[in-house]
Structure 1
Amino acid sequence: MDLSYILNHLGEEDRGKHRGAVSPPIYQSSIFAFDTVAAMREGFRDELDRTVYTRGNNPTVEILRKKVAALEGAEDALLFGSGAAAIAAGVVAVVAQGDHIVCVQKPYSWTRTLLRELLAKFGVTHTFVDATDTTAVEAAITPSTRLIVLESPNTMTFEQQDLAAVAALARARGIRTLLDNSYATPLHQQPIALGIDLVAHSATKYLNGHSDVVAGVLCGSKGLIRDVFKGPYMTLGAMMSPHDAWLMIRGLRTLPVRMRQIAETTARVIAFLQAHPVVERLWYPHAPHDPQFTLTQRQLQGASGLFSFTIRTDTTAGVERFCNALTRCLMTVSWGGYESLLFPVAAVYPPDTPVAAHRADRVPVNLVRLSVGLEEADVLIADLAQALDRV
């Protein structure tokens, strides 16, 4: 199935039932009626693939499910109200009291909270491990390990895992794997083809791409997705609204075009920053100096626009001067939108925190994460240059 068909037509082929509408309608209905008791009974037997109640399935959301599953090479997908909800549902559906989870060392913050605070209360244990080394993952496995949670690349310092190798060792032991694929998108990384069981996205980022929807995706086999649906999805009700699904269908139409433009601009911005004396270090999987560049070439089929760099300064005050001087990069917590977005780690520390005070196992306090958007490269470079002069 070709990419253009998935983005423009899959799930929308029968346009006659929508009066020929080119853009699918928003089914803004919470409930769906039945003509007979028998039909209603049949609907209850399979709420994943029937329309009974929008908390379970909705025609607009179903179109998006088909598209995202096809993009990931998966049999099915579920759409959630956030990426955190998608990851949590995937984890909760797999583990039970007494089980153990192996997780990458620096996951998304709410994934860490899920393991450390929520699941720990219900007798699920975990081990965080430097998963850039597959042998370290293997060493962390115990007889009670049921799940390995991966994030490749991660979204602050961009460590990767050898997905095929981790998937192979997990399957040999009957352990499930779940990967957060938000950074790469399905265009640039196909984890299911490498043996990963469940693939999650914060669809708020590149998949939607317009900074107007908070959404999550979980993809996998029909059996695994049905288990998630019957368990945490229907029980906790963290579903996506029909309107948000419609907005995301719109966002997906331009995903390849946006990603190409973002990658081209990012390459120029990276080249500028690498040559600037105020930039101390830069993290980007596609930079030849990256320690995992060989894995990048083997595992990723294209570049994204998210990277991090540290500013040469003694305290966070220098970072603040840089960030406050920017006029074209919006300071915010997210990434992957049409606009360039900036997140300074200094914002979570007190003013004038010494750079030397940060712990080696944490993200540096002078680190700034930049998500390149659709602005012209020259405009972004000029803005970064004048702001760096203020450090």
Structure 2
Amino acid sequence: MSHIKDFEIDKQICMQFEEDRERFAGAVVPPTFQNTLFTYPTLDELSEAVQFEKQHYVYGRGTNPTVEIVEKKLAALERGEECKTFASGMAAITAAIINSVQSGDHILCVSHLYYSTMELLKYLGKFNISHSVVYSTNTEEISQAIQSNTKVIVLESPTDMSYRLVDLPAVSRLAKTNGIRTIIDNTWATPLFQKPLTHGIDIVVHAASKYLGGHSDVLGGALITSKKIMKSIFDKEYLLMGAVMPPSEVTLLLRGLRTLPLRLLAHQENALKVAAFLESHPHVAKVHFPGLATHSDYLLGKKLLTGYSGLMSFELREAHYRQVEKVVNKLKAFKIGVSFGSFESLVSSPNLSNNEGQLLREHISPGTIRLAVGLEDINVLIDDLKQSLMD
């Protein structure tokens, strides 16, 4: 019952929280403050604002009334203290990671992370910041992978591509015991279906371009964390790097949030049916989707997740590129493309024809196909998969 109550609270946050319609002449949609700067009556007042820019509107690279509305909504949805939006999901996670480390530190990655996040960690090697990956979601194995200079644990739950779940409360306790900060990418579940901060995670990251925006027309990211951590990020990685989300994009994100609860329920309904169909197909070796009762982390998911989004993967029995290519190219309703979380159904694969050895080293089957199940008619989607998987 508490999950139902939380979902109803979140619906109200998505639609009305912090919009203060009286302030904007009763407008049902807050105005977009497109201006880049704000003026003050006196030099003293401007000087005060510049010194405490986090609490004042000074320049577009800092704070903005339209942007603040969305940030307050996202913080409330995650049950966090503060949120800042960024120009992309990668800008957000870059700020979170850079804020958390210095030269000589080590970053521990749990299982599979987004490809660009891994590329970022490799890039940080030039600054003497190392990283390693533990290809397991088992807390004990994660503990054994901690090094003396580990300062951050970065994870996704469900994990990228393999969609395993991490025991967030256990990993949080482990990290705090060792003085390690935790950062999670919560894009898959969204704040409606998982709230990592309530389990002790330090920083939550979102690619707002996905479910939060929901229409494939918004590029943005967000960080939600404590006031203490956010003050440090705002003063350094936010203001100095300047990768802010512009008001025009935030307005589209605000529109997306209004329908997020309804869209997620529809994604979930379609995804559960697609996953069940794939699991029963003779050409499919395995389906990676935590909403299936046969999933190895199903019971953990019942504790941590209050719902399931539309992103999953499955493995073909003929696990090689030519078979993956054949199946993917036959799909019609599922369009071939990157990203996920919007109204359209998409298909892709980590198998790029020349990287099967790497996939095996990373414990990913070369027969893996990723599906982002959209909002189309479920019969159309399943019929499309049927004809694609035919001999």
TM-score normalised by length of structure 2: 0.94
Which whole-Å CA distance do the structure 2 matches of 1:259 and 1:345 have between them? 25
- In the alignment, is residue 223 of structure 1 matched against residue 228 of structure 2? yes
Aligned residue-pair number: 384
Which whole-Å CA distance do the structure 2 matches of 1:107 and 1:292 have between them? 18
Question: What CA deviation, in whole Å up to 9, does each residue of 1:224-262 have, x standing for no partner?
Answer: 111111111111111101011010010011111011111
Question: What CA deviation, in whole Å up to 9, does each residue of 1:104-162 have, x standing for no partner?
Answer: 13211121112122x21111122211341111222222332221111111231112211
Aligned to 1:250: 255
Of 79, 92, 102 in structure 1, the residue corresponding to residue 98 of structure 2 is 92
Which whole-Å CA distance do the structure 2 matches of 1:356 and 1:179 have between them? 28
State the shift of 1:356 in Å: 8.9
CA contact (8 A) 1:345 1:364 kept: no
Aligned to 2:194: 189
Instruction: Give matches, 1:265-344, under 5 Å.
Output: 265-313=270-318, 315-344=320-349
CA contact (8 A) 1:148 1:178 kept: yes
Aligned to 2:76: 70
Q: State the secondary structure of the residue aligned to 1:48.
A: helix
Which whole-Å CA distance do the structure 1 matches of 2:268 and 2:80 have between them? 26
State the shift of 1:286 in Å: 1.6
Instruction: Give matches, 1:206-221, under 5 Å.
Output: 206-221=211-226
Aligned to 2:384: 383
Aligned to 1:9: 16
Residues 290-299 or 139-148, more deviating: 139-148
Aligned to 1:79: 85
Of 159, 162, 184 in structure 2, the residue corresponding to residue 154 of structure 1 is 159
Which whole-Å CA distance do the structure 2 matches of 1:49 and 1:333 have between them? 38
Which whole-Å CA distance do the structure 2 matches of 1:327 and 1:188 have between them? 30
Which whole-Å CA distance do the structure 2 matches of 1:4 and 1:320 have between them? 40
Q: State the secondary structure of the residue aligned to 2:239.
A: helix
Residues 285-294 or 237-246, more deviating: 285-294
Question: What CA deviation, in whole Å up to 9, does each residue of 1:185-220 have, x standing for no partner?
Answer: 111111101001100011111111111111111100
Aligned to 2:375: 374
Of 40, 44, 48 in structure 2, the residue corresponding to residue 34 of structure 1 is 40
- In the alignment, is residue 203 of structure 1 matched against residue 208 of structure 2? yes
CA contact (8 A) 1:314 1:356 kept: no
Which runs of no fewer than 5 residues in structure 1 stay unpaired?
Answer: none
CA contact (8 A) 2:151 2:181 kept: yes
- Identity over the aligned pairs, expressed in percent? 41
* Cα root mean square deviation, aligned: 1.8
Of 107, 110, 113 in structure 2, the residue corresponding to residue 107 of structure 1 is 113
Instruction: Give matches, 1:123-142, under 5 Å.
Output: 123-142=128-147
Return structure 1 stretches of 4+ with deviation > 3 angstroms.
Answer: 355-358
Aligned to 2:3: none
Residues 248-257 or 297-306, more deviating: 297-306
Which whole-Å CA distance do the structure 2 matches of 1:167 and 1:233 have between them? 25
State the shift of 1:336 in Å: 0.6
Which whole-Å CA distance do the structure 2 matches of 1:309 and 1:265 have between them? 16
